[in-house]
Amino acid sequence: MAAVFENKNILCGISGSIAAYKVCDWVRSLQKEGAEVKAVMTRAATKFVSPLTFAALTGNPVYGSMFAVRDEESIPHITLARESDLILVAPATAQTIARLAHGFADDLLAAIVLASEAKIVVCPAMNCKMYLHAATQENIRKLKEYGYLVLEPECGMMACGEEGPGRLPEWVQVRDALIKALSAQELAGKTVLVTAGPTEEPLDPVRFLGNRSSGKMGYAMAAVARQHGARVILISGPTRLAPPPGVELIDVRTAEQMYQEVVDRFDAADIIVKAAAVSDFRPTRMSATKIKKNGENMGLELARNRDILQTLGAMKQQKPTPPLLIGFAAESDNLLAYGREKLEKKNLDFIAINDITAADSGFGVDTNRVILLDRKGGQTNLPLLSKEETARAIWSRVIGKG
Ligand code: CTP
């Protein structure tokens, strides 16, 4: 499985803001995930971070001037414009944003952006008043009109002591935006419903029956669907995870709440991914007061929860153009037989089976080893991958790229 930025030429265009130092780390992160990175710095940027820093980090010369041509034949703004798959303008100052908005070509970075057909991602960073000024906002609107992806700056305390929007976003947000910009938008116009995490079935005001699901697999399925252009609704049981950027989050606690939220949205969904570890049973009654420890033993009467996925599989038969159903199965033995049985019984298009007895796969851990079965009898054995890579591999099968 190729790293997410493998074979991608990414050009970092750094302009003159104190936030420039943060981009040094981003360069490292991009390289770790396979990117070939080059850097262009505006004159003001070199006042904050030395070009030597970016040269050492990227392993490439740092470009600054239109005219500093080493090789007589090379035209830096054209060569760099052509060879880049993506140009990340970060930090983008008010000045650089104005230059790009007005199509000036009076410095190397602006000229490259003008000459390039690459994806352009812009991360504004400046004083909050400068950012909120109508002129900057108008310039940002223009950049969006040109098809550039402009990230919202974060709010917070600025280097100048003022507080407001103008800080660079965290790397996780930027990384997600870069992946989205580089991904084909095969799921554009589609609504994807994802369930994730455990459910909790209350026993009394402080106790519940739950399970060890972390939600990571479902959150990764949601993030990757969003990166491929889908509108994503994530219905999640209690987890410690931050929702992926751009995803609509609906929090639920019990299996019954999840059932309602999912079934209500069945008609709106083109694809439904049921990665949640839904509790099969719930206590028949919830005590309104904390249960006291009377006696040596305590019996617990449980009632079956409705099977959400099976309900969806049945609803699918009533629809002329039903949504695609993707289920997950946690198994400890007879993986293939039980998986195939669930695929048939619940009327699924795909089922991702994981072996929960393996320490590196399934509940709670960051990695997974999944077998993906489809309705036509196909089987794909994925290797041990991070949950994000697993999600990427599953989506690429579902989207039909093999
Ligand atoms: N599922 C569901 N509603 C339930 C139980 C499970 O929607 N009440 C879904 C899960 O989200 C998953 C799939 O069904 O996509 C399989 O879940 P799993 O727990 O492996 O299987 P079960 O059908 O519950 O069967 P068993 O526990 O007997 O193995």
Residue 66 has pLDDT above 80, yes or no: no
The predicted model gives 289-310 an average pLDDT of: 94
Residue 396 has pLDDT above 60, yes or no: yes
Say yes or no: 74 and 111 in one domain: yes
CA 355 – CA 326 distance, rounded (Å): 17
Give the alpha-carbon dihedral of 307, 310, 316, 318, to 10 degrees.
-80
* CATH number of the domain bearing residue 175: 3.40.50.1950
pLDDT value at position 34? Answer: 97
One-letter amino acid of 173? Q
**pTM of structure:** 0.93
Given 182, 204, 230, the domain boundary residue is 182
**Does 89 reside within a domain?**
yes
Is 327 touching ligand 1 by the criterion CB < 6 Å? yes
**Does 294 reside within a domain?**
no
Say yes or no: 178 and 201 in one domain: no
Say yes or no: 366 and 265 in one domain: yes
CB 118 within 8 A of CB 35: no
pLDDT in tens, 123-164: 999 999 999 999 999 999 999 999 999 999 999 888 888 899
**C-alpha atoms less than 13 angstroms from C-alpha of 329 in its C-beta half-sphere:** 25
Nearest CA to ligand 1 atom 8: 307
pLDDT in tens, 39-57: 999 999 999 999 999 999 9
Closest CA to 222 of 204, 197, 196, 202: 196
Given 155, 182, 209, the domain boundary residue is 182
CA 336 – CA 229 distance, rounded (Å): 32
Total domain count, the chain: 2
Position in ligand 1 atom list of the atom nearest CA 279:
8
Closest CA to 151 of 221, 88, 230: 88
pLDDT in tens, 33-42: 999 999 999 9
pLDDT in tens, 227-260: 999 999 999 999 999 999 999 999 999 999 999 9
Is 280 touching ligand 1 by the criterion CB < 6 Å? yes
Evaluate the omega torsion of the peptide bond into residue 91 and state whether it is cis, within 30 degrees of 0: yes
Closest CA to 82 of 142, 38, 46: 38
pLDDT value at position 68? Answer: 57
**Does 51 reside within a domain?**
yes
One-letter amino acid of 174? V
**Does 203 reside within a domain?**
yes
CA 295 – CA 115 distance, rounded (Å): 79
Residue 286 has pLDDT above 90, yes or no: yes
pLDDT value at position 70? Answer: 62
Ligand 1 pocket mutation pick from 194, 235, 274 by most atoms within 8 angstroms of CB: 274
Say yes or no: 175 and 202 in one domain: no
For residue 310 the two structure tokens come to 């099976």
pLDDT value at position 158? Answer: 82
Closest CA to 29 of 154, 177, 153, 174: 174
Give the alpha-carbon dihedral of 12, 14, 20, 25, to 10 degrees.
10
Question: What is the residue range of 309's domain?
Answer: 191-280+302-401
The predicted model gives 352-374 an average pLDDT of: 88
Say yes or no: 132 and 269 in one domain: no
Residue labelled with tokens 């990384």: 175
CB 364 within 8 A of CB 211: no
pLDDT-wise least confident of 103-117, 153-167, 214-228, 344-358: 153-167
Give the 3-state secondary structure of residue 358: coil
Backbone angles phi, psi at 143, to 5 degrees: -60, -40
First to last CA, the chain: 13
**Does 285 reside within a domain?**
no
Containing H/E element for 381?
Answer: strand 379-381
**Does 105 reside within a domain?**
yes
Question: Could you tell me if residue 206 is left (phi over 0), alpha (psi between -120 and 50 degrees) or otherwise beta?
Answer: alpha
Say yes or no: 242 and 177 in one domain: no
Say yes or no: 211 and 122 in one domain: no
For residue 340 the two structure tokens come to 């195939």
CB 269 within 8 A of CB 323: yes
Q: pLDDT tier at 171 (50, 70, 90 boundaries)?
A: very high
Say yes or no: 195 and 161 in one domain: no
Residue 402 has pLDDT above 70, yes or no: no
Say yes or no: 124 and 225 in one domain: no
pLDDT in tens, 4-34: 999 999 999 999 999 999 999 999 999 999 9
CA 239 – CA 258 distance, rounded (Å): 14
Position in ligand 1 atom list of the atom nearest CA 306:
8
**Does 291 reside within a domain?**
no
Rounded distance from Cα 346 to ligand 1 centre (Å):
9
Catalytic residues: 160
Is 328 touching ligand 1 by the criterion CB < 6 Å? yes
Closest CA to 328 of 268, 366, 285, 277: 277
Residue 311 has pLDDT above 70, yes or no: yes
pLDDT value at position 151? Answer: 98
Give percent of the chain above pLDDT 70: 98
pLDDT value at position 267? Answer: 96
**Does 242 reside within a domain?**
yes
Is 342 touching ligand 1 by the criterion CB < 6 Å? yes
Sheet containing strand 191-196, edge to edge, reads 248-251, 231-236, 191-196, 271-274, 324-331, 350-355, 370-374, 379-381
Given 133, 160, 182, the domain boundary residue is 182
Is 179 touching ligand 1 by the criterion CB < 6 Å? no
* CATH number of the domain bearing residue 238: 3.40.50.10300
Rounded distance from Cα 14 to ligand 1 centre (Å):
49
CA 310 – CA 345 distance, rounded (Å): 7
Residue 360 has pLDDT above 90, yes or no: no
Say yes or no: 316 and 219 in one domain: yes
The predicted model gives 168-172 an average pLDDT of: 96
Say yes or no: 224 and 348 in one domain: yes
Say yes or no: 137 and 230 in one domain: no
Averaged pLDDT of the chain: 94
